Every structure is written in C-alpha cells, then in structure tokens.
C-alpha cells in the first residue's frame, strides 16, 4: 500500500487532477479497507451503477493535499 500512497500524488499531478475516485461493491470489505488505508475518504454507500447494473456500492475519493 505504501507504493499506492506514494504513487497517487505523483500520478495526479502528471495527469492534472487533484482527486481520484474509487468504487467497489459494498460487500467487498477487503477492497473498502484497502481504499481507506490508501487515504480515500468514503463519500457514498448505497445503490448505484456498477458495471452496468444497480448494486450496493461503496464510493470514495482521494484528494491531493
């Protein structure tokens, strides 16, 4: 995870953005944990579009400090 945490600020500057969005199925506890450990903040939990279907999703965002 240290690689991801170190990579996000560099990559976001290279592509000219100050945030990255993450999404996974709400039932995928491991993916939610990885997003949070990498500094992503939860922004939504509920029914949303996921690969063309309505599913229970977890959405989060990482912002450049």
Output the pLDDT for position 1: 63
Output the pLDDT for position 52: 96
What is the total count of domains within the chain? 1
Residue-number span of the structural domain to which 38 is assigned: 2-63
Q: Is the pLDDT of residue 5 over 80?
A: no
The string of pLDDT tens digits covering residues 20-51 is 999 999 999 999 999 999 999 999 999 999 99
Instruction: Specify the DSSP element, H or E, that contains 13.
Output: helix 2-15
CATH number assigned to the domain comprising residue 44: 3.40.630.30
CA dist., res. 53 & res. 5, Å (int): 30
């Amino acid at each position: 995870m240290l690689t991801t945490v170190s990579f996000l600020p560099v990559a976001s500057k290279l592509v000219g953005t100050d945030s990255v969005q993450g999404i996974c199925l709400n039932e995928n506890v491991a993916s939610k944990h990885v997003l949070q450990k990498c500094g992503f903040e939860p922004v939504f939990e509920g029914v949303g579009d996921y690969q063309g279907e309505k599913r229970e999703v977890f959405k989060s965002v990482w912002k450049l400090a």
